[in-house]
Amino acid sequence: MFGLDADSLPRRILDCSSGVSSFAVEAAACGSRVVAADPAYALGGQRLAELGRDDLARGSAIADAHPDRFTWDWYGARERRTTLRRTALARFLADYVAHPGRYVAGALPRLPFRDGAFDLAVCSHLLFTWAEELGRAWHREALIELARVAEEVRVFPTVVQGRGEPVPFWDELMSDLAEAGLRTEVRQVPYEFQVGANRMLVVYR
C-alpha cells in the first residue's frame, strides 16, 4: 500500500499511527531503523491484544456492511485476509515485548520527534480514512507535522472509510499544504481492498 519493497526501504522510518500492524517488525528485519508511534502503546500488551482482535472484527464488519465497496482480488479470499491480519497481530505483540523501545506512545498532530528525524514517514488508515470526524484543519496540522519529522511522507488510502468516497476538503487541503511550502503527489499502488482505494498521497518538504 505504500509502494515499498524490501530492497529499497529507507534507513530511518516512522510508522504513524501504526496500531497493531507488523510493518515495523518487517521493515526492521530488512535492515531499517523503524519507530512505530501510536497513542495506544501507552496501554500495554494485554490491552493492545484486545484492541487488535476488536480491530480485526470491526474491519470485517465494515466490509460486510458495504459489500459493493470492497474487493478481495488482492487477498484472494476473505479467509486469507483474516489469516494475514491475525499473523500480523501475533508478530506485533511479540516484537512489542522484545523491542519496547521501537514503540512510542505518540499522537498526531504533535509528535515527540526532532525535525528531520526520519527519511520516510508512513501513515495508513488514519488520515483521510476518518476525514469526516477529524476535519480539514486537523489534517493540515497532521501532514505538516509528519513533514516536519520526515523528509518524505506517504499516506494510504486517499478515500473515506467504508463507502470509499472522495475526501470532501481534498482540494482545499492540497492548497493548504502548498501554502505551507510542501509539495504533494498522488501515486497509484498495487494494493486495493476498498474499491478505488489504490492510491497514496506523497508529501515532500
Would you state the pLDDT for residue 66? 81
Would you state the pLDDT for residue 164? 80
Q: What is the mean pLDDT of the chain?
A: 94
Residue pointed to by grid coordinates 501532514: 143
pTM exceeding the 0.85 threshold for the entire prediction: yes
Would you state the pLDDT for residue 45? 85
Q: Could you give the count of Cα atoms lying within 13 Å of 78 in the half-sphere of its Cβ?
A: 10
Would you state the pLDDT for residue 9? 94
Q: How far apart are CA 129 and CA 164, in angstroms?
A: 8
Return the number of other C-beta atoms located less than 10 Å from residue 73's C-beta: 8
Would you state the pLDDT for residue 84? 92
Can you list the domains of the chain with their CATH numbers? 12-204 (3.40.50)
Would you state the pLDDT for residue 8? 84
- Burial class of residue 53, CB neighbours in 10 A (0-12, 13-18, 19+): middle
pLDDT digits (tens, 9 = 90+) for 60-70: 788 888 888 88
pLDDT digits (tens, 9 = 90+) for 113-127: 999 999 999 999 999
Q: Is the model's pLDDT at 183 over the cut of 90?
A: yes
Return the number of other C-beta atoms located less than 10 Å from residue 180's C-beta: 13
pLDDT digits (tens, 9 = 90+) for 132-163: 999 999 999 999 999 999 999 999 999 998 77
